[in-house]
Structure 1
Amino acid sequence: MFHRGLLHLARPRVFFDIKIGKAPAGRVEFMLFNDVCPLTAENFRALCTGEKGLGASNKPLFYKDSRMHRIIPKFMIQGGDFTKGNGTGGESIYGFQFRDENFDLRHNEPFLLSMANAGPNTNGSQFFITTVPCPWLDGKHTVFGKVVAGTDVVKKMEAVGTNREYLMVLRV
């Protein structure tokens, strides 16, 4: 039990400062499950810091100023396409895509952080935040973190839905 506590303390935290339109909406803080999904958690962490420089797409590997391009109330909020901004792009720190790491964790509660993909082994930079339990996603998307502060901001984002005029811009 003590050992698991140490692992929990070692989990990295990152944050997004969110804007809705031009107005600041607040900060969302994530805890990453690097003890369960080290490659996936490191990909997200590094994309939050921008420390890896330019990717193969010749764009910065960085979430800063990227948009939440898909918001479905009572389901999820998706973002992370910093190459095209519309959900058709993105890139991981390991190259364009990387393999599914594991499906050990379940989509059994709101505010989980999970990888968006286009099928098996197609993880890049896109992610989503659940707003309800989503068990139908188990075995298809890797859960690698959760929201630990700013659930009120997530709810504000969810309330807007996908609206081209008010897409969320991330500040990391």
Structure 2
Amino acid sequence: MKRISFIILLAVALVFTMAACSANSGKNPEQGKQEAQPKQPAKQWASAPPMAIDPNKTYIAHMETNKGNISIELLAKEAPKTVNNFVFLSREKFYDGVIFHRVIKDFMIQGGDPLGTGTGGPGYNIEDELPVKRKYEKGIVAMARTNQPNSGGSQFFICNGPGAAGLNTQPDYVIFGKVIDGMDTVDKISNVQVTQSPTGEESVPVEKVFVKTITIEEK
């Protein structure tokens, strides 16, 4: 009797083992490929890049995301150092694969942190170019920073609604661009489902929203 019970238990165990193997075999092959080839650590630099743009030229940043494309006119005359920094990082492919880690509908979407936590950067900080010459409103692109002056680096945000106007009472974020095409993509990103951040803010996208690449057009 004990031998029969043992055989039955063994058969049940084999069934569960086969079921588990079958479930694992159905995994998306691309997912497995990504796990086998993790993203390389982001580049880091000891200091801000030297000035390489011409403020008298026009620069357009064509941002490709997994939600669509966004074209940003960079305000080289108004914020030459900040634009120079953004152009440099874009051409270095620093932003490729970087997520939008903070999304607040009717306020802004924020990205540019290679760590995806809101604490990362390129290894250096850049000088603030203040006061700003425009109002924060839908479509405006500005540098994110801490509450300390001259603490920007690579993180940026795109204003996506009326809530951005609240920044006009404390205009400490350098405005360096405006969306000229692709606000529908900004809206798509703004409408993704979010959950709480470690601080309790409802701003962390449930799905991965990221920049594929940024191409700089100079004319």
- Tell me which interval the TM-score lies in, with the shorter structure as reference length: 0.7 to 0.9
- As a proportion of its length, which structure holds more helix? 2
Tell me how far apart the structure 1 counterparts of residues 150 and 136 of structure 2 sit (CA, whole Å): 22
Summarize deviations over 1:64-116 as a string: whole Å, max 9, x none: 0000000000100000002x12111112xxx5112211222233420110010
Tell me how far apart the structure 1 counterparts of residues 166 and 57 of structure 2 sit (CA, whole Å): 30
Tell me how far apart the structure 2 counterparts of residues 78 and 86 of structure 1 sit (CA, whole Å): 11
For residue 84 of structure 2, the aligned residue among 36, 42, 64 is 42
**Given residue 123 of structure 1, which amino acid in structure 2 is its aligned partner?**
G
- CA distance 1:38–1:9, change in 2 (3 Å): closer
SS of residue in 2 equivalent to 1:39 = helix
Mark the runs of 5 or more structure 1 residues left unpaired by the alignment. 1-6, 20-24, 51-60
**Given residue 171 of structure 1, which amino acid in structure 2 is its aligned partner?**
K
Tell me how far apart the structure 2 counterparts of residues 85 and 46 of structure 1 sit (CA, whole Å): 20
After superposition, where does 1:9-158 map in structure 2 within 5 Å? 10-19=57-66, 25-50=67-92, 62-82=94-114, 84-91=115-122, 96-119=124-147, 120-133=149-162, 134-138=164-168, 139-158=171-190
Structure 1 stretches (4+) deviating beyond 3 angstroms? 161-165
Greater C-alpha radius of gyration: 2
Mark the runs of 5 or more structure 2 residues left unpaired by the alignment. 1-53, 195-203, 214-219
Shift of 1:161: 4.5
**Given residue 47 of structure 1, which amino acid in structure 2 is its aligned partner?**
L
Shift of 1:171: 1.2
RMSD: 2.1
